[in-house]
A = this chain, B = another copy of it.
């Protein structure tokens, strides 16, 4: 039996293009004499469809797609993910289903059992878990159909669910496992995924075809990297990351196995490619082509612009340099150099005149009061407004340049440098930003060295440095990582050897700045715990604050 797996870039709610893409893939697979083609989870409607699922019309459109695919399932079986209605009144109204289409019929539907409802996932919000598991017979083989999380309750010390669907399916003696996934990227996920698929294969001793979604949906980036694993636990093949792919495998050969051949998984190479795809798909799926970045001469805006240039082409990334009286000459020079390196058009728009006009306007109220964060924020907000004016006039989307360390401790100005439609590096700590810049510069000096080596500064008052207000980033970032990614308690972090006063201050800053993060752009997620939909914190909470 020949099995095709197709990792495709779907668009949420765009049934027409998703269906067309699958029909095209079916043709390709048939040309290569595949007996079966498998797509990723919820591929008719795109993943995650979120509250669109609450509309009857949306479900009807998904059913229409299934119907078109059913008609195409002629001489080939098609396995496709789609929502389906729960006929039982009690319980949620929908299932998250894998449809098995063959001989132009719906031959079987296997619903998802384990519904991830943590971090970025909300599946129990919409779906009823199934308790029925039946293998599908096709061309003399028996197939165990599973949907994403259904294979993830294995090999954990602290399992989230009480059952393993494959424990129900394996006694029915399937020949292989198909898994339809939409598993979002983090820099750890590809390794974890290989481990989990490996745990299943080791436990059940049959081959697995794991088909992942590829493409970005706002903040969630799906990296592809679909896996074919032989019963010997070796990776038969891993599909490429961050691109569409259709590949046909001979089941007998997969069962026989070959040498283990996983792809390399370099942290910063993967982060770079993930962010580039994140930017590209955000623009493409919204119908935009041009970005705007405010370049300060600092590393955050430099790397944001660099990634945007990789994603959209340098000519489509307009840079705006907005110096004030506090900007150093080298900042402007560094920013200009960066723009030139990527062929990005740039404007220099000094903000002093507008700043002065605000100060004059506000004089009656502010007279006699000292320069403070108000005037600093004013500069950042003038810059935000200039970017938004360019955005409105010329139709470019402003990219937000905040990093994760800043976003965590609230070191940024709401409606100022925190503006923009998409946060590109908001899930990357400052120390990781440096590492990513160095990785990008391994090829050539894309980012001026001076931008990387100078001490970070917001340049909002004379001789300002980030370290005036914050702990050094190598310490701060480690504390933040333990708190945010690892959800460690303050006492745990202190016992790792950090200064209790710094720990307390850092955690307090994280918690009291929830209100700022609430109002910022979606953050491209590349870590196991990003700000945004996967981290839900009270604003008026009084905990560690």
Contacts and interface: CB of A to CB of B under 8 A. Distances in A.
Contact of A377 (B91, B388, B522): B388
A369 interface: yes
A326 interface: no
Contacts of A490: 57
A372 B349 contact: no
Interface in A261-290: 281-282, 285-286
Contacts of A93: 158
Contacts of A12: 538, 540-543
A539 B519 contact: no
Given A124-B124, A159-B90, A50 B537 contact: yes
A540 B285 contact: yes
B389 A385 contact: no
A366 B394 CA distance: 9
Contact of A217 (B17, B419, B540): B540
A50 B538 contact: yes
Nearest to A356: B357
Contacts of A377: 388-389, 392
A91 B162 contact: yes
Interface residues of A, number: 96
Interface in A324-371: 347, 349-351, 353-354, 356-358, 360-362, 364-366, 369
Contacts of A386: 358, 361-362
Nearest to A11: B542
Q: Count the copies.
A: 2
Interface in A490-523: 490-491, 515, 518-522
Contacts of A539: 218, 286, 522
A285 B385 contact: no
Given A57-B491, A415-B419, A90 B392 contact: no
A439 interface: no
A536 to B, nearest CB: 5
Interface in A39-57: 46, 48-52, 54-57
A122 interface: yes
A275 B57 CA distance: 34
A434 interface: no
Given A55-B489, A89-B158, A286 B540 contact: yes
A264 to B, nearest CB: 29
B124 A162 contact: no
A373 interface: yes
A543 B159 contact: no
Interface centre among A118, A158, A491, A542 (most CB of B within 10 A): A542
**Nearest 8 pairs between A and B by C-beta?**
A13-B543, A57-B489, A357-B357, A14-B542, A374-B392, A285-B540, A415-B415, A12-B541
